[in-house]
Every structure is written in structure tokens, then in C-alpha cells.
Homo-oligomer: A and B are copies of this chain.
């Protein structure tokens, strides 16, 4: 029997996920805004037959952020450009439902899906940084729960717009002069709490039917939303046990929503350090840890905890007992607090852990050991795949593609060639039905 196939995404983050990656001697410090830098990375990822490139996003500037988030390409424009120099790999961009309009989002992702011939994915987020509100004529975010309520309606509208045109609606018959068949065109006429959208979309049904939907919410609202709408779920899980718990919970919820749990792909983030020995892998990590400017590491931790002031504590103190709640990203905050408590980390140790992978799992080892650690989570149902967060680009990725991928292929856990050309095909997801398709005859 064919083994379960692992799905692998590449989480792009400028020069790398490690907060000090840009200072690494092998790294191009200004890669974040250089197309050639991303072009190189995309080619390596496609050589490795990986499933997709993934870009996170934010709509504000925060000087405490990871340097790769300070200035960067807008994700959809960057992926549109990368669609031209790649032919198979999926292209996933983040866009928030809190500061966008569904018509724009439906159209841009449909456009990207047409450009890439079926490789687009939308990572649906509800916004983290409170400052985003202030760039969009608001004083503050909608409340966390309402952001998800808006997101749910937003996604419904977007899916409706993607269904505007049936697959064969554009006739373009030169002889008769008929350009489209009006019977196969469907306005939306949506009227809801947050949006009124007439439709139809001015973009035909895209090659994937609908672009792939990704979600990464891990709060209660987030998990409910993801289980309901997401084809792919990103998550941060530190231990196999936690990952299994999350995996079971989400698959169960998806089934409760009437979905096939196999069509909800769970991909925790993981940051691999690869060496000829485990020792060498750990030294690579230490080399980066030493490049962290302490003030920046501490500020980064404060920011992750919702802006809490840590300056009156020593780096050797534990995290204070009381961390006030904010209206930001609840699951990320909890993950970091749990990590500190579980491993008894001092503030100094904690910021160093966050600086490496922002709360995601870090693994070390030889290519064999890396493959073992990935395989373990797949076999024991902690994950269907991983969103790979390389500490620095492109070297971290090329080492993985050259050294780890062949082992995974050898073990029958990962494709040797792309079997299809669309992202849905790579992920084993069926083509979605249009809400207007006639029921298939029995």
C-alpha cells in the first residue's frame, strides 16, 4: 500500500525565519525587497517538488516586528511575478478579511489562479496588529469574535463570486458572435450583516474552480472557522502530543460540519536546522542566536505578548504571572506563555526561543534525523504535512531540498515528481462544485 504522502509548504519570510537571519554571513541582507532573491528560492523549492510557497502579511508597520516584516513585497503582486518563473508549485498569499472587501479579494485570487494556471491559495486571516485599524480609518480592531463573524461572511461572499461563471460559460463563438452564455452566468445578490455584493465577478471560473483556502486560527473561534472553511490549516504545535490533540479536534470538527476530514490538511510550522551531525546543526542555531541584538529580541517578545512592558524585569527572571489579554492574536499569546511555563524558561531564554521561529517547533539533526522527526508526526497523526520555516534563505531551503527530500522520497513519504499541475492536485483535493452546477445524474 502506498504510504500517506507528506505535504510540504515553504513559508517565505524575507531573509529567513530567524530574527537575526539577515545578519548571517551567507545571507543577502536586503533580500526582502529583491525579486531575484525570491526567484532563486522559488526555483529551489520547485526543484524539491514542494507543494507551495506561502507568504504571510500584515497591513501596518511595527518597529518591534521581525525585520523581514518591516518592509516587504505585497504578497499577491510577488506571487503573480513568481507565477511566471515557476510551473508547478502552489502560490499562497495571506489577506485579511478585516481590512479588505470581498470583491477585490475574490478577483485578485481568481486573477492569480488564471495567471498561474491553477496554483493560487488564499490564507484567510482576521488581522493581528491593532495598528492595522489605524491605517484604515478605524480606531481599533473589531472585537475578536466579530472579526471571525465578518470573516465567515466574507469567505461566503468570495466563494459565491468565484462561482459567478460556470466552467463553460465563455463560449466565444466567432461564427455566431456569441461571447458568453447568459444562462451560465450567476449574479450573487448577497445581502448580509457586513456586506452587500451584487456580483457577478468580472473574472471567469478559475482553473482550480476555486483557489485553495488556508486558515491558521487556533483560538476557539479560529478552529471552528478553519474546520468549516479551510482546505489547509496551518498551526503552531510544539509537541507531538499537543499536535495529535489539535489534529483530532480539527478533523472531528470538520466531520461535524459535514466535511470529509481527509480534505482538511493540517500543516504545523517547523523550523529545521540541518547538519552533518546533530552537534553541527545545533551550532548553526547557536550561531544565529548569538547574532540577536538583545533589545530587539526582548522587544520582539513584548510584542508577541501584546505589547506588555518587560523592561522592569531582568533577563534571568521568569515570565511574570499576570500577562494582560489584548484584542490581538489569542492563540499565539497562549502558545508562548505555555512554552515558557512548560520549560521553565527565563525571559532571556524565552525571547531567544521566539526569535528563532516565533513559537513554532524547531528541529535539529542530520538529514536522517530531520526526516525521522517529520515522519514521526505524519505516522502518529500529528500532521498531514508541514509548513517549513527555514531559519535563513536560500541556504536552509537548499540543504533541505538536496539532503532531506531524497530521504523522504526514498521512504515513500514524498512525491518524486509532481503528478498534476494545480495546487489542488498536489494536495489531493477534489475540484470544488459550483453552487450552480446541476446535480450529477445518478
Spell out A's residues near B (CB within 8 Å): 20, 22-23, 25, 29-30, 33, 35, 58-61, 63, 67, 69-74, 76-78, 80-81, 83-85, 99-101, 103-104, 107-108, 110-112, 114-115, 131, 134-138, 164-165, 170, 172, 174, 177, 179-180, 182, 185, 187, 194-204, 291, 293, 296
Contact = CB atoms under 8 A, between A and B. Distances in A.
Contacts of A100: 104
Given A134-B198, A135-B199, 19 more contacts: A22-B179, A25-B174, A29-B174, A33-B204, A35-B83, A35-B114, A61-B200, A63-B182, A63-B185, A69-B202, A71-B203, A73-B111, A74-B111, A77-B80, A78-B80, A80-B80, A81-B81, A84-B85, A101-B136
A35 to B, nearest CB: 5
Q: Please name the 10 residue pairs, one residue from A and one from B, whose CB atoms are nearest each other, closest first.
A: A74-B111, A80-B80, A134-B198, A77-B80, A29-B172, A177-B293, A84-B84, A71-B204, A77-B111, A103-B135
B112 A77 contact: yes
B81 A115 contact: yes
A151 to B, nearest CB: 16
A227 to B, nearest CB: 28
Nearest to A201: B61
27 contacts: A20-B177, A33-B204, A35-B83, A58-B202, A59-B104, A61-B201, A63-B182, A63-B185, A69-B202, A70-B179, A71-B170, A71-B202, A71-B204, A73-B111, A73-B203, A74-B107, A74-B108, A74-B203, A76-B76, A77-B80, A77-B115, A78-B80, A84-B85, A101-B136, A103-B135, A137-B194, A138-B196
A396 to B, nearest CB: 17
Contacts of A202: 58-61, 69-72
A114 B74 CA distance: 10
A33 B172 CA distance: 12
Contacts of A196: 134, 137-138
Contacts of A25: 174
Nearest to A135: B103
Nearest to A187: B61
Given A84-B85, A103-B135, A77 B108 contact: yes
Nearest to A207: B33
A20 B177 CA distance: 8
A110 B107 CA distance: 20
